[in-house]
């Protein structure tokens, strides 16, 4: 039984953390394992062309994870089927729980080369990629994360097509490729995907995605729209404790400070490279919030340049 069915059998629905490049890396996921772990993690996405180039060393870290994070699904993107096959030979050495193909990304650079959600407009290539991934994946379940259309809603055609490919799971973000975050995710269309699934491919698990704020809303949406599970993205930076069910106001400032210190510790252990310390500022903002004096402390922390300086400031703050 694949991991998605196992979670469903145990819990009735799946709560997943969305893949977010530059956010949901192994460091943050390891912290989340301690303060509120979802049923399922995804890695940041890895470009298969990048992996199969001389630049492999620069990109391969996107698939890093530790055993405590499991179950973890590896996410890949690209438009060259053979490169998927080559990348998956490496993926199979990692002990991950599944392979997800990104057919939803709408970032300009990704789209311009016909990858990510541009594949919605190229079913022939999309099918070729899915076939190669399924062939290469061995026992690992294969899934796709996508949207409801490119520049117009085409739920029946596109999701219907994906369902015919015998995928183990499809995650549907209820927006079009051309839309930013201003228009709401269309959960009615996501509900339509569930109906299509019931007709075309009953074995395929459907996750809904878009604008879910907390696990209460995720459970409400699971019931209301009949999805097997919900994937939550941006809300994790508003409340890293989200998957524990705790509200931001329930987390003390001491716990917030301790968690940031812990995050920095893991960051140094995993990356050991303070040149990229700026990349950690989004987490400072996420942890240091919702208490009296948070804004002032955060402002001071944002001006610092190294993890040691941040550590000193935090220790002073709680002493």
Ligand X SMILES: Cc1cc2nc3c(=O)[nH]c(=O)nc-3n(C[C@H](O)[C@H](O)[C@H](O)COP(=O)(O)O)c2cc1C
Q: Which residues bind ligand X (CB under 6 A)?
A: 18-23, 44-45, 75, 102, 104-105, 145, 173, 209-212, 232-235
* Closer residue to ligand X, CB minimum distance, 25 or 257: 25
- If you write DSSP's letter for every residue of 175-205 in order, what string do you get? EETT--SSSPP-HHHHHHHHHHHHHH-TT-E
Nearest CA to 262 out of 44, 35, 72 is that of: 35
User: How many C-beta atoms surround the C-beta of residue 11 within 10 A?
Assistant: 11
Nearest CA to 46 out of 37, 35, 55 is that of: 55
Question: Least Å distance between CB 234 and ligand X?
Answer: 3
* Closer residue to ligand X, CB minimum distance, 96 or 253: 96
Question: Least Å distance between CB 283 and ligand X?
Answer: 13
* Closer residue to ligand X, CB minimum distance, 21 or 309: 21
Q: Is 105 a catalytic residue?
A: yes
Q: What whole-number distance in Å separates Cα of residue 199 and Cα of residue 10?
A: 25
User: How many C-beta atoms surround the C-beta of residue 299 within 10 A?
Assistant: 10
Nearest residue to ligand X, scored by beta-carbon proximity: 233
Q: What whole-number distance in Å separates Cα of residue 37 and Cα of residue 40?
A: 8
33, 52, 105, 193: the catalytic one is 105
Longest dimension (CA), the chain: 62
Q: Is 316 annotated as a binding residue?
A: no
Question: Least Å distance between CB 23 and ligand X?
Answer: 5
Q: What whole-number distance in Å separates Cα of residue 189 and Cα of residue 174?
A: 7
Residues marked as binding?
Answer: 75, 145, 173, 233-234
Active site residues: 105
Annotated binding site for FMN: 75, 145, 173, 233-234
């Amino acid at each position: 039984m694949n991991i998605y069915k196992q979670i469903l059998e145990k819990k009735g629905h799946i709560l997943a953390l969305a893949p977010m490049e530059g956010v949901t890396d192994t460091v943050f996921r390891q912290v989340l394992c301690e303060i509120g772990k979802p049923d399922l993690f995804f890695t940041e996405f890895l470009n298969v062309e990048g992996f199969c180039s001389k630049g492999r060393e620069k990109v391969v870290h996107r698939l890093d994870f530790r055993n405590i994070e499991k179950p973890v699904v590896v996410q890949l993107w690209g438009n060259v089927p053979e490169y998927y096959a080559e990348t998956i030979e490496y993926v199979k050495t990692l002990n991950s729980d599944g392979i997800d193909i990104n057919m939803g990304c709408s970032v300009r650079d990704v789209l311009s080369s016909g990858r990510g959600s541009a594949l919605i407009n190229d079913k022939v290539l999309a099918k070729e990629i899915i076939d190669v991934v399924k062939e290469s994946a061995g026992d690992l379940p294969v899934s796709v994360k996508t949207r409801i259309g490119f520049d117009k809603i085409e739920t029946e055609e596109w999701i219907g097509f994906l369902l015919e490919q015998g995928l183990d799971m499809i995650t549907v973000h209820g927006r079009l490729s051309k839309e930013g975050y201003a228009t709401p995710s269309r959960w009615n269309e996501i509900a339509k995907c569930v109906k299509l699934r019931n007709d075309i491919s009953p074995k395929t698990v459907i996750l809904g995605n878009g604008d879910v704020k907390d696990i209460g809303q995720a459970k409400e949406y699971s019931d209301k729209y009949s999805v097997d599970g919900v994937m939550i993205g941006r809300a994790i930076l508003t409340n890293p404790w989200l998957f524990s069910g705790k509200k931001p106001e329930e987390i003390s400032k001491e716990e917030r400070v301790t968690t940031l210190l812990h995050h920095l510790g893991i960051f140094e252990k995993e990356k050991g490279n303070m040149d990229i310390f700026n990349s950690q500022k989004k987490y400072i903002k996420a942890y240091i919030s919702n208490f009296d004096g948070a804004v002032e402390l955060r402002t001071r922390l944002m001006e610092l340049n190294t993890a040691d300086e941040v550590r000193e400031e935090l220790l002073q703050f709680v002493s």
